[in-house]
Amino acid sequence: MQYRTLGRTGVQVSALALGAMNFGAIGRTTQDEATAIVDAALEGGINLIDTADMYGQGESEEMVGKAIAGRRDDIVLATKAYMPMGDERNRRGTSRRWLVTALDESLRRLGVDHVDLYQMHRWDPATSDEETLSALTDLRRAGKIRYFGSSTFPAYRVVQAQWAAREHRLGRYVTEQPSYSILQRGIEADVLPVTAEYGLGVLAWSPLASGWLSGAVRRGREVGTHRSSVLPERFDLAVPANRARMDAVEALAKVADEAGLTMIQLALGFVTAHPAVTSALVGPRTLDHLHAQLAAADTVLPADVLDAIDAIVAPGVDLAAHEKFDTPPALLDPALRRR
């Protein structure tokens, strides 16, 4: 396992990190299975575990808490807030009112007295940066969090938050967690240059592109992945973007074969090769999934392989731009771009 410094924090984290979104009902993973995955991940050198309050409406946090009981100090523990946690209108967002409550509830579910990294799951257009950063700074001073970060923020919002922290003399986000894979490279054009400029650690989620790069999705083969059963529209070849992804996957499979790599090694090796990326988040549902991903822990792609990837999917290109989660609101809501 390789280890990198998380931004400018001085904290050393593994190049592969364990994402716990699939723990519980979302991934049909039991507590025993989740604990076995955590055991194997730690044994394989992973030391960062990432979850969120909204994964299974708290179920993932509870399962992570049970799995890490007795070894909390060996783990860099991260969770998130922002997404709705129930029907009540104020149990969501990044207001001080909600974050203070949300963090206490996350700590209770995790069975710990602090988290190492508390991330805002999305940018909240209803709340000012000053409001959110002030609350997070106070929670850090109270010892309930060590650092805080953002997740899936548009590049300009990453910049705005850094400026707000400086202007109001508040703590700043020290990490960003964006979606990044060979098939979704848009952040190379904006987010990654910004995180590098401000010295943010980057925890890349979906490096296997929702299973497209797992090796299980190939032309002429029935797609039987868990994600395809949950989100079939993302694998429907009647959709032009999905046809483009399939063409890319077939070409990438040839590159992997010629290099003596699995598709997973190619995909994870690509993400961790970017100098702005700290860790790639893997989200296994089974031990077999994790072992296949751990096999990529020391993968270093040579220049000719990276060149071949660039020739298939150009730098800065998203093959499925409509699936992005950091699209500026004005591109989604016509009222925001009309007088």
Known catalytic residues are 55
CA dihedral (325, 291, 48, 204) positive or negative = negative
84 C-beta neighbours (distance < 10 Å), count: 13
Distance between CA 148 and CA 177 in Å, rounded?
11
Supply φ then ψ for residue 79, to 5 degrees. -140, 180
Strands 201-204 and 279-282: parallel
- Amino acid occupying residue 23: F
> Contact 131/99 with Cβ under 8 angstroms?
no
